[in-house]
Amino acid sequence: MKGWQTLQIKENFEIKNLTSFKCGGTVKKVFYPESIDEFVQVLQEEPSAQVFGNLSNTLVSSDGFDGSLILTTHLNKITIENDTVVAECGVKGPKLSQEVCDKGLSGLEFMIAFPGSIGGEVFMNAGAHGQSVSDTLVEAVCYDKENGLVTLLKEQLEFSYRTSVCQKRDLVVLSAKFKLIPAEKDCITAKMQENLNFRKAKQPSLVLPNCGSVFRNPQGDSAGRLLESVGAKTFSFGDAKVWENHANFIINGKNGTSLDILELIFKMYSEVKKKYNIELRPEMRFLGDKNNREVEICKLLKIK
């Protein structure tokens, strides 16, 4: 890479252990930019590179990816000035939640229990426990392949349930600015602990390879309720199975492949559609080279 002798690049990289699902093959080339300038140059020189954060909401192909991947995990600077917080896209949600708590700032307590990073959380307008990214976000710096770096105000991001304009326009979120609310640190800490307790009781530990909720909740209903009513807790495929404690989570075994997981997701989707004529929409993204069956399933489920 011209002029970037310090840029970290890995070739023929086994990515499996970086993913929440503990699934994935060999990626031809992985870039780790450490600044927004480095990110822009990498994408300009490798325009077909795929951009991801910490792969917490991503199913990676067991066949790997014969292309270039940019991981934003090293873009992890946080700046806090009074009640305004700027975080780069690679900052992990729990870290930012704890940092602002230490400053007596409220509004990001929900992030304490999220494994994802800020870029992905803004991209999908992540939320839980009555809070969401769109509540406190002021603006985001994004990369647009046609226009380069652009700064979008909250209203321009077109936030709605689990979505933003970033998905429609294929924008990469590089940093986000939040305006938070000063509050008693004890109250913030108590709310964070409540959120952690909820996750522990209702969601599988990250020690168990999983990618969080499989499907978004349809309007006015719960994906977990619909799946449980069709017996999804008993479903499995290959070495992947639905978690016995909540029907909207998949646990991957030691030898589970991306196809095992996709087949299981399709079975869950199909049973709900057959009984209720409701088409559940998966939350995760797919990265890598698909075989013919994976192409077919991703097309049917609208997984990008």
Q: What rounded mean pLDDT belongs to the chain?
A: 94
Residues in the chain: 304
- 88 and 65, same structural domain? no
Which residues span the domain enclosing 296?
Answer: 223-301
**67 lies in a domain?**
yes
100 and 128 assigned to the same domain: yes
Boundary residue ending a domain (138, 171, 202):
202
CATH number at residue 97: 3.30.465.10
Report the alpha-carbon distance of residue 74 to residue 54 in Å, rounded. Answer: 10
- Residues 191, 232: one domain? no
Q: Is 112 exposed, middle or buried (0-12, 13-18, 19+ CB in 10 A)?
A: buried
Looking at the structure, tell me whether residues 193 and 107 fall in a common domain: yes
Q: Which of 38, 109, 271, 283 is catalytic?
A: 283
pLDDT at 5 over 70: no
Q: Which residue among the candidates 97, 164, 213, 258 is catalytic per the annotation?
A: 213
Report the alpha-carbon distance of residue 111 to residue 113 in Å, rounded. Answer: 5
The Cα–Cα gap between 90 and 268 comes to 32
What confidence score (pLDDT) does residue 161 get?
87
52: CATH: 3.30.43.10
* Per-residue model confidence as pLDDT tens digits over 255-284: 999 999 999 999 999 999 999 999 999 999
Assess if residue 207 is contained within a domain: no
Among residues 55, 71, 87, the one where a domain terminates is 71
Q: What is the DSSP letter of 35?
A: S
pTM, two decimal places: 0.89
% of the chain beyond a pLDDT of 70: 98
In a domain, residue 157? The reply is yes
Alpha helices (H) in the chain, listed in sequence order: 36-45, 93-102, 118-123, 133-136, 165-169, 185-202, 223-229, 258-276, 292-301
Residues 6 or more apart whose Cβ sits within 8 Å of residue 146: none
If asked whether residues 119 and 67 sit together in one domain, one would say no
Q: What is the mean pLDDT of residues 246-257?
A: 95
Mean pLDDT value of segment 231-258: 96
276 and 190 share one domain: no
Whether pLDDT at 131 is above 80: yes
The answer as to whether 234 is a domain residue is: yes
Residue 266: which of 278, 282, 251, 252 has the closest Cα?
Answer: 282
What pLDDT sits at residue 24?
A: 96
Q: Is 283 a catalytic residue?
A: yes
- Provide the pLDDT for residue 3: 52
In-domain check, residue 294: yes
- Please write the tens of the pLDDT for every residue from 147-191: 999 999 999 999 998 899 999 998 999 999 999 999 999 999 999
Q: What local confidence, expressed as pLDDT, does residue 4 receive?
A: 56
Tell whether 62 and 163 lie within a shared domain: no
Q: Residues 13-44: pLDDT tens digits?
A: 999 999 999 999 999 999 999 999 999 999 99
As for how many domains the chain has, the answer is 3
Answer yes or no: 160 catalytic.
no
pLDDT of residue 205: 86
**Domain assignment of residue 241, yes or no:** yes
CB atoms inside a 10 Å sphere around CB 207? 6
Q: How far apart are CA 302 and CA 33, in angstroms?
A: 30
Assess whether 190 and 130 both reside in one domain.
Answer: yes
Residue 215 falls within a domain, yes or no? no
- Say if residue 54's pLDDT is above 60: yes
User: Two tokens at 10?
Assistant: 């890995």
Catalytic residue among 46, 132, 158, 162: 162
Q: Is the pLDDT of residue 53 over 70?
A: yes
Clarify whether residues 40 and 100 are in a common domain.
no
Question: What is the reported pLDDT for 2?
Answer: 52
Q: Is the residue at 214 inside a domain? A: no
CA distances from 44 to 168, 193, 214 (A): 21, 43, 33
